[in-house]
């Protein structure tokens, strides 16, 4: 059975491109595009990996990450965080909240695939 990834991102064309490259690699890609109920979506979809944008409408990626880590059922879920602000501060904050990996926009498709492969053995 295919591994499942949940992409939480609000930019439709980024969703489309990332979904495309991950699908070609054999992933089952689900997407979600707002912050409000992102944690519920993670619970419902029960993915093997979450790709989480920081700048989401409704709730920031940092808050969502905290909520995910607060739930014991998802404490070990690999989370790859995407942000446009590659500042040291953001990185430190994400690490403190338990991010598995951090990636700054704009990224190359190869970077995404490498990161995803590292986080979840196919």
Partner 1 sequence: MAQSAMVGSRIRERRVLAGIKQSDLAGRAGISPSYLNLIEHNRRRIGGKRLLQLAEALEVDPAWLSEGAEATLIAGLREAASIETTQPVELDRTEEFASRFPGWAGLLTETARRVEGLEQTVQALTDRLAHDPHLAASLHEVISMVTAIRSTASILADTKELQPEWRARFNRNINEDSRRLAEGAEDLVRYLEDAPDKEAEIRSPQDELHAFLAAHDYHFTALETEPDTVPQLIEDAPTLVTEAGRSLARDALGVYAQDAADLPLSVLDDAIAEHGLHPDQLLNQLGVGAGHLFRRLAGLPTARFGPVGLVMCDASGTLIYRKPLPGFDLPRAAGACTLWPLYQALAQPATPIRAMLVQTGRGQSQVQSYSLAEHVASVRFDEPVSSRAYMLLLPAPPGADADAARTVGTTCRVCPQEACRVRREPSILAKGF
Q: Catalog residues that contact partner 1 under the rule CB under 8 A.
A: 11, 13-14, 16-18, 20-21, 24, 55, 84, 105-109, 112
Choose between 24 and 44: whose C-beta lies nearer to partner 1. 24
Choose between 72 and 108: whose C-beta lies nearer to partner 1. 108
CB of 116 to partner 1, least distance (A): 14
Choose between 44 and 117: whose C-beta lies nearer to partner 1. 117
Cα–Cα dist 97/112, whole Å: 21
Cα–Cα dist 86/63, whole Å: 17
Non-local CB neighbours of 116 within 8 Å, separated by 6+ positions: 5, 22, 25, 27, 49, 51, 80
């Amino acid at each position: 059975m295919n591994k499942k990834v949940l992409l939480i991102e609000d930019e439709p064309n980024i969703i489309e491109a990332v979904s495309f490259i991950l699908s070609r690699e054999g992933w089952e890609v689900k997407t979600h595009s707002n912050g409000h109920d992102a944690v519920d979506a993670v619970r419902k979809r029960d993915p093997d990996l979450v790709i989480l944008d920081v700048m989401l409408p409704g709730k920031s990626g940092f808050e969502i990450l905290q909520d995910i880590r607060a739930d014991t059922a998802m404490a070990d879920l690999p989370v790859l965080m995407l942000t446009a602000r590659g500042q040291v501060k953001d990185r430190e904050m994400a690490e403190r909240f338990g991010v598995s990996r951090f990636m700054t926009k704009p990224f190359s498709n190869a970077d995404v695939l490498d990161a995803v492969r590292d986080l979840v053995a196919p």
